[in-house]
Every structure is written in structure tokens, then in C-alpha cells.
């Protein structure tokens, strides 16, 4: 799994012979600066992008192969022990309203380099069926973490944040709430040249600006009803420029307000449901300022990380894509039409045999 933050490749080794499937080992490997900038550049139109996208897809697959080999070595497994790799690829465009979403990665090359079958291209079938193609993890959250008594929510705060609402006796519901860390990452990079605001320290040094927060919340995305999904296509550098060009706020106050935007846009989606516990995963779970703001927004809700469910916050997404790959191999539909808006259940993904 490589997500919208473009911070690294996460690999999980999952055993499906046990019920529920068991996460045996997991590892994160940082992306090289070169590959990261190739992938970041492809997030917006540029000359010769078809050729550049293919080169980046090859480099992405080579880096995935290295990360997989490293995890197998660490966990003392051989390639021949592995039934398949689920490979999300890197999202470089997400335009379901135009009938496509694009995750690049050369699956054939990954199968060739590892000798392991690859399952990839998880989102396009759902989009072809009229869905958003995202988020896909609510089905996994429902299968593994729904409780018969408790109203639970799981939120993944990655570059973009996506939530799953697991209410007993109701179909699972889920959507992207909006920016998770992506805007905070862009803003601190612009001002301090850093990749991210470690422990939310810079945000904690500023004041949330209520008028700016209200302005941010005017973006029509936040008022849209589900099904909805988003990405860097909407929440990018120009979004910040458009919202901030007429203002002269202290950069640390803007960072605090972007952090509050992530917390508020997540919390706003939960107020009506009397959720007993909100479980947080993704990199945002490591940001105490963001976690504190979430707790302030939701005083009636217990907030924990998914470690309380037995899964460290960094491995939830990659675990989910192993599960999605297994569903594909078993010819089991894995989308939730009530989440993505697809016309019906669909088998997600395509297989590149070893
Ligand atoms: N210690 C920390 N303090 C603050 N923020 C952190 C910390 N660790 C990680 N993060 C944030 O988490 C981000 C990475 O999160 P994650 O790996 O979940 O994103 P992703 O999977 O790439 O995104 P998505 O889920 O949208 O595809 C980093 O870019 C950073 O903003
Ligand atoms: C198009 C795309 O890659 N979307 C990602 C992204 O990262 C978070 C959010 O935006 C979510 O919609 C999705 O990933 C998760 C894993 C999902 O599909 O459930």
C-alpha cells in the first residue's frame, strides 16, 4: 500500500487460514526522494505524462518488490509460501465523476520480480458500476471490527481521511470526510521545508482562527452527502492558495486551523449517531494535537487508536488490501454499494498470475 501522503510503502503479511485473518507481520519502508517526487509530480497535469507515468509505475513496482522481499526475509517466509500480493498502486488521479480513477503500478513487473501472483486495480470495477471506487476499507472494517452491541466508528487519518460507521443491525456506512494530513503536510513543507508536522508541535504552537476555519468549511465538499470520495485532485496546493491569498495570518495559526479542519470535518459526520467509540488509524493517530482536537469536538465519544482493536494504526490500510486481494482470489464481491454508490456488488481487482 502506498497512500496519498506518499510517505512510504506499507506491507502486511496476513494469514487467511485463521478466522479472523491474522496479521503476522508488517513493515513500512520510506519512499526514496526520487520516486516520491516522480509520483508527486504526476498528481497534476504535466508534459509527457504518459511516458513519465509508466516510468514511475515501473519504479513503484520495483520499490514494492524490495519492500515485500524485506518483509518476507524478516518474517522468515519464502515467496513460495505466499498465495498473492494485493497491490493498491499509487493513486495519481481520482475522477469518478469522469468515470475513472487511476492507480499506477506495473503489476506484471511485480509478479515477475517476486514470482508471486499479484492482485491489483481494485477500484476501477466499482467506478465502472457507477460508484466512487472509494473508500473500500469500510467492508473490511465491517467484516473484522463490527460489534453486535456497540456503535463504532473507524477513521483512517491519512493524507485524506475516511470514516466507517458500524452501527449494529444497519448496513455499514462510510465515505471520505475530507483532508486528513495532506493540507497540513503541504503547509509545513511550504513554510519550513518539512514533510510533516511531527507530533503536531507546530499546530500546537498556533491558535485556531475561527473565521478561517469557517471559510475552509465552506468548501462544497464538506456539505456533500455520501457517497463521496476525494483526493489530492481537490485538496492540493492551489486549494490553500485560493483560501489564503487574501489573508496574512501567522503560518502557525494557519497550521492550527488546518488541524482543526481535519478534526471538525471528521467530528461533524459523527454527531448524529451517538457513536460509543471512535477508533483512529493512519498517520494522524500519531499527531497528539489532532487527537486532542478530535476529543474536544466529541466530548461524548471515547477516542482510541485501533491498537485497542488489536491492529496498530499504521497497518490497518495495508491489512485491508490483503483482505481485498483475498476476496478477489475467492471471487467474493468486496465493495459495499451503500458506501461507494455502485449499482451493485462487484468483485474488485484483477489477477496477474505468478
Ligand atoms: N508523529 C507524527 N506526528 C504528526 N503527524 C504524523 C506523525 N506520523 C505520521 N503523521 C502524519 O501521517 C501522514 C501519513 O499517514 P498515512 O501513512 O496514514 O497516509 P497515507 O496512507 O499515505 O494516506 P491515505 O490513507 O490518504 O492514502 C504523514 O504524512 C503525516 O502527516
Ligand atoms: C482514490 C484513493 O486512492 N482513495 C484513497 C485515499 O486515501 C484515503 C481515502 O482517500 C480513501 O478514499 C482511499 O483509501 C482507502 C484505503 C479506501 O479506499 O478505503
Residues 257-278 have pLDDT tens digits of 999 999 999 999 998 888 999 9
Regarding the beta carbon of 343 and ligand 1, being less than 6 Å apart is answered no
CB atoms near residue 234 (< 10 Å) = 17
DSSP 206: S
Residue 305: beta bridge partners?
Answer: 280
CB atoms near residue 346 (< 10 Å) = 18
Rounded Cα gap, residues 157 and 176, in angstroms? 10
- The tens digit of pLDDT for each residue in 288-300 reads 999 999 999 999 9
- Please give the grid coordinates belonging to residue 171: 448496513
Residue whose Cα lies nearest atom 8 of ligand 2: it is 160
Does 8-133+315-352 match 137-313 in CATH topology?
A: yes
245 Cα–ligand 2 center, Å: 29
Average pLDDT over residues 326-343: 98
Rounded Cα gap, residues 6 and 158, in angstroms? 10
User: E strands, the chain, where?
Assistant: 8-15, 22-30, 85-87, 90-95, 100-104, 118-120, 152-157, 160-166, 173-179, 277-281, 302-305, 350-352
Mean pLDDT taken over the chain:
97
CB atoms near residue 18 (< 10 Å) = 9
Q: Do the beta carbons of residue 133 and residue 94 sit within 8 Å? A: yes
Residue 123 has what pLDDT? 98
Asked which of 175-189, 207-221, 268-282 is least confident by mean pLDDT, the reply is 268-282
Which sequence spans correspond to the domains of the chain?
8-133+315-352, 137-313
Of residues 291, 233, 232, 297, the one with CA closest to residue 268: 297
Ligand closest to Cα of 140 equals 2
Residue 76 has what pLDDT? 98
Asked which of 145-154, 266-275, 314-323 is least confident by mean pLDDT, the reply is 266-275
With a cut of 90, say whether residue 178 has pLDDT above it: yes
Residue whose Cα lies nearest atom 14 of ligand 2: it is 135
- Please give the grid coordinates belonging to residue 348: 474488485
Residue 273 has what pLDDT? 80
Q: Do the beta carbons of residue 33 and residue 79 sit within 8 Å? A: no
Long-range contact list for 129-132, CB < 8 A, 24+ apart?
129/335, 129/337, 129/342, 129/343, 129/344, 129/346, 130/341, 130/342, 130/343, 131/96, 131/227, 131/335, 131/337, 131/340, 131/341, 131/342, 131/343, 132/96, 132/227, 132/228, 132/229, 132/340, 132/341
Residue 168 has what pLDDT? 95
Residue 276 has what pLDDT? 94
Pairing relationship of beta strands 85-87 and 118-120 according to DSSP bridges: parallel
Ligand closest to Cα of 5 equals 1
Rounded Cα gap, residues 286 and 196, in angstroms? 11
CA angle 129/347/322 to nearest 5° reads 125
Say which CATH superfamily domain 137-313 falls into.
Answer: ATPase, nucleotide binding domain (3.30.420.40)
| Percent of the chain scoring above 70 in pLDDT | 100
Q: Does domain 8-133+315-352 have CATH number 3.30.420.40?
A: yes
Residue 23: beta bridge partners?
Answer: 14
Of residues 305, 296, 196, 299, the one with CA closest to residue 255: 196
Residue whose Cα lies nearest atom 9 of ligand 1: it is 283
CA dist 249 to 212, 218, 240, Å? 9, 18, 13
Residue 280 has what pLDDT? 98
- Please give the grid coordinates belonging to residue 150: 456497540
210 CB-near residues (< 8 Å, 6+ apart): none
135 Cα–ligand 2 center, Å: 5
Q: Is 249 annotated as a binding residue?
A: no
Rounded Cα gap, residues 15 and 293, in angstroms? 36
Residue 271 has what pLDDT? 84
Q: Is 329 helix (H, G, I), strand (E, B) or coil?
A: helix
CB atoms near residue 16 (< 10 Å) = 15
Amino acid at each position: 500500500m502506498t497512500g496519498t501522503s506518499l510517505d512510504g510503502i506499507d506491507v502486511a503479511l496476513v494469514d487467511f487460514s485463521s478466522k479472523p485473518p491474522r496479521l503476522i507481520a508488517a513493515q513500512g519502508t520510506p519512499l526514496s526522494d526520487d520516486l516520491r517526487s516522480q509520483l508527486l509530480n504526476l498528481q497534476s497535469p504535466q508534459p509527457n505524462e504518459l511516458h513519465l507515468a509508466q516510468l514511475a509505475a515501473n519504479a513503484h513496482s520495483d520499490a514494492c518488490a524490495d519492500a515485500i522481499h524485506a518483509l518476507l526475509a524478516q518474517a522468515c517466509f519464502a515467496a513460495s509460501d505466499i498465495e498473492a500480493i494485493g497491490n493498491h498502486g499509487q493513486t495519481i488521479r481520482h475522477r469518478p465523476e469522469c468515470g475513472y480513477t487511476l492507480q499506477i503500478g506495473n503489476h506484471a513487473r511485480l509478479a515477475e520480480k517476486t514470482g508471486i501472483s499479484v492482485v491489483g486495480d481494485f477500484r476501477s470495477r466499482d467506478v465502472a458500476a457507477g460508484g466512487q471506487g472509494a473508500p473500500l476499507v469500510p467492508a473490511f472494517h465491517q467484516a473484522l471490527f463490527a460489534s453486535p452491541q456497540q456503535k463504532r466508528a473507524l477513521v483512517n487519518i491519512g493524507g485524506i481521511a475516511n470514516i466507517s460507521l458500524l452501527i449494529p443491525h444497519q448496513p455499514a456506512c462510510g465515505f471520505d470526510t475530507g483532508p486528513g494530513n495532506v493540507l497540513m503536510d503541504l503547509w509545513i513543507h511550504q513554510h519550513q521545508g518539512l514533510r510533516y508536522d511531527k507530533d503536531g508541535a507546530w499546530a500546537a504552537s498556533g491558535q485556531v482562527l475561527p473565521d478561517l476555519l469557517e471559510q475552509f468549511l465552506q468548501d462544497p465538499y464538506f456539505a456533500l452527502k455520501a457517497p463521496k470520495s476525494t483526493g489530492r485532485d481537490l485538496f492540493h496546493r492551489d486549494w490553500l492558495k485560493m483560501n489564503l491569498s487574501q489573508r496574512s495570518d501567522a503560518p502557525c495559526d494557519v497550521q492550527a486551523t488546518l488541524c482543526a479542519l481535519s478534526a471538525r470535518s471528521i467530528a461533524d459526520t459523527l454527531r448524529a449517531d451517538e457513536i460509543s467509540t471512535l477508533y483512529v488509524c493512519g498517520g494522524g493517530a500519531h499527531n497528539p494535537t489532532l487527537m486532542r482536537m478530535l476529543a474536544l469536538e466529541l466530548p461524548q465519544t471515547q477516542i482510541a487508536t485501533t491498537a485497542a482493536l488489536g491492529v496498530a494504526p499504521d497497518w490497518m490500510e495495508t491489512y485491508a488490501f490483503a483482505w481485498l486481494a483475498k476476496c478477489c482470489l475467492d471471487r467474493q464481491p468486496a465493495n459495499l454499494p451503500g458506501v461507494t454508490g455502485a449499482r451493485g456488488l462487484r468483485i474488485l481487482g484483477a489477477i496477474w498470475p505468478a
